[in-house]
Amino acid sequence: MTIYNYAAGPAMLPAAVIDQIQRELPNLNDSGMSILEVSHRGQDFAAIIAEAEANLRALMAIPDDYAVLFMQGGGTGQFAAAPLNLALDHRRIALLDSGIWANRAGAEAQRLGIDCDTLASTKAARYRDLPGLPAPLTADRYDYLHLCVNNTVEGTAFHTLPDANGTPIVSDMSSNILAEPYNVRDFAAIFAGAQKNLGPAGVTVVIVRRDLLKNAPGVPSAMDYTLTAAKHSLYNTPPVFAIYALNLVLRWVREQGGVAAMHERNLAKSARVYDFLDHSHLFSSPVAPAARSLTNLPFTTGDADRDDDVIAQATAAGLLNLRGHRSVGGLRASLYNAMPQAGADALVDFLYHYEQNA
């Protein structure tokens, strides 16, 4: 039975990458050591982390005046690190409340004593659509606008960015980095936990404009962008294995044709599923069409017991991890870069037959 894993994160990795990890695991570059054992200061790892940065720079066309950092602590760590490092002048950030992860970012900033103004929210509409800015942002009021570009739980994505009127945008790209093209220059900083679309859990990518790297007071060393940039992500022990695996994923994306090729595939995969949902009499997508994510697709029958039955039968058929986030229920299919078209097709075939027999 072919297994497809639709988990939102940690999520599936390209089969070729898993194969390579397995082959290389006992003996990295004929060193007689495993990647799990090598020093982060040794030459093998030096080459790996340099290549990972170069691959990410090539894939996202990251300009030289942006630093690439490999950190730990996940998206949640960045909910603290971003305000600690970047909310220095006004000690105030703005937020568009597009869902759970945007909210978490605002709450974490406030926990650290940084003000957060929620300018708009689609909570009352159960986050079926994206919030827009109600009025042009006042210049020089906020250190930045926090934007969760892809809302993993609710299944919405900003395919075009709101006009922030000169206020810097800090973006949580945890669940659609490299899934569709974004222009790095549109952001002051981008962060992404790796475990959705980049690799295994444990490494967090940060891309930040170098002129924003100041000596921020009171930032723990492990969260300090300026220190991390100065030390090329080697101030302390980085997540060696996770960066190694991330680099293999980045190589794989480049071999496949880069972000443009991923985007094309993700459009095709998600269109297959959305087309089915929009024509189904049993299943539907709750998300406004223009706001739909390419990577996270929630859907439901509208009946919790029926949804449970679909999940149970899908699991028995090898279609795994289709349960929606515990906060919203229903089902959710995550179709990240590593998910082949065949995985989207298998899901639609299964749902179609389920509906025929219902």
Ligand X SMILES: *Cc1c(COP(=O)(O)O)cnc(C)c1O
Question: So which residues are the catalytic ones?
Answer: 101, 172, 196
**83 near ligand X (CB under 6 A):** no
**76 near ligand X (CB under 6 A):** yes
> Which of residues 14, 83, 155, 193 is near ligand X by CB under 6 A?
193
Question: What is the size of the binding site for ligand X (CB under 6 A)?
Answer: 12
**334 near ligand X (CB under 6 A):** no
Between 143 and 172, CB nearer to ligand X: 172
**156 near ligand X (CB under 6 A):** no
**74 near ligand X (CB under 6 A):** yes
Helices 304-316 and 341-357: angle between axes, nearest 10 degrees: 120
Q: Given the rule CB under 6 A, which of 137-145, 171-179, 280-288, 344-352 is the region that contacts ligand X? A: 171-179
The side-by-side arrangement of strands in the sheet containing 144-148 is: 66-71, 204-209, 189-193, 169-172, 144-148, 92-97, 115-121
> Which of residues 146, 196, 292, 332 is near ligand X by CB under 6 A?
196
Largest alpha-carbon pair distance within the chain? 63
C-alpha distances in angstroms, 222 versus 169, 174, 188, 324? Answer: 23, 20, 20, 33
3-state secondary structure (DSSP) of residue 326: coil
Structure tokens at 142: 């906020």
- DSSP one-letter string for 114-176: -EEEEEEE-GGGTTSS----SSPPPTTS-SEEEEESEETTTTEE-SS----TT--EEEE-TTT
Between 76 and 256, CB nearer to ligand X: 76
For the window 126-155, what string marks contact with ligand X as x by the rule CB under 6 A? ----------------------x---x---
Q: Which residues of 228-244 are buried (b: 16+ CB within 10 A; e: fewer)?
A: bbeebbeeeebbbbbbb
Q: How far is the CB of 296 from ligand X (least distance, A)?
A: 8
* Nearest position to ligand X, beta carbon: 74
Q: How far is the CB of 217 from ligand X (least distance, A)?
A: 25
Q: Given the rule CB under 6 A, which of 49-57, 73-81, 228-236, 282-290 is the region that contacts ligand X? A: 73-81
Residues of the shown chain interacting with ligand X in the complex, contacts defined by CB under 6 A: 9, 74-76, 101, 148, 152, 172, 174-175, 193, 196
